[in-house]
Amino acid sequence: MKAAVYQSPGAPEVLRYIDVAAEKATMDQLAFLTETIARHCPEDGVHASDIPGVTLIRSSMLTMPMPALYEPTLCLVAQGQKRAVLGDAAFTYDPSTYLIASVELPVMGSVIDAVPDRPYLCLQLHLDTFAIAELAMRFPASSVEPARPSTGLAICRTTPAVVDAALRLVGLLDTPEDIDALAPSTVREILYRLLGAESGAILRQMARADSRLNQIARVISWIRTHFRENFSIEQAAAEIAGISRSTFHAHFKAVTAMSPLEFRTQLRMQEAQRLMVSNKMDAASAGFQVGYGSPSQFSRDYVRIFGLPPARHASRLRNSA
Q: What is the pLDDT of residues 38-75, one digit of tens each?
A: 999 999 999 999 999 999 999 999 998 888 999 999 99
Which pLDDT does position 283 carry in this prediction?
95
Q: How many helices (H) and strands (E) does the chain have?
A: 12, 12
Is 150 within 8 Å of 93 (Cβ atoms)?
no
Mean pLDDT, rounded, of the chain: 88
pTM (predicted TM-score) = 0.84
Q: How far is it, in rounded angstroms, from Cα 26 to Cα 32?
A: 10
Q: What is the pLDDT of residue 10?
A: 47
Predicted confidence (pLDDT) per residue in 278-307, tens digit = 999 999 999 999 999 999 999 999 999 999
Higher local confidence (pLDDT), 258 or 13: 258
What is the average per-residue pLDDT within 229-246? 82
- pLDDT for 247: 87
Does the pLDDT at position 128 exceed 90?
Answer: yes
pLDDT for the residue numbered 14: 40
157 φ, ψ to 5°? -70, 135
HSE (side-chain half, CA atoms, 13 Å) at 205: 28
pLDDT at 7 over 50: no
Distance (Å, whole) CA 21 – CA 80: 23
Residues 6+ positions from 6 with CB-CB distance below 8 Å? 13, 14, 15
- So what's the pLDDT on residue 148? 58
Write out the DSSP string of 246-283.
HHHHHHHHHHHSS-HHHHHHHHHHHHHHHHHHHS---H
d(CA 58, CA 111): 10
C-alpha distance from residue 220 to each of 19, 217, 234, 243, 255 (Å) = 43, 5, 14, 14, 10
What are 199-217's pLDDT values in tens digits?
999 999 998 877 888 889 9
If 0-12 CB within 10 Å is exposed, 13-18 middle and 19+ buried, where does residue 310 land? buried
Instruction: Using alpha carbons, select from 102, 73, 105 the residue that is nearest to residue 87.
Output: 105
Region 257-263: mean pLDDT is 92
Q: Which whole number is the average pLDDT over 304-317? A: 91
Coil vs helix vs strand at 13: coil
pLDDT at 141: 79
Q: What is the DSSP letter of 43?
A: S
Q: How confident is the model at residue 237 (pLDDT cuts 50, 70, 90)?
A: confident
Higher pLDDT, residue 87 or 267? 267
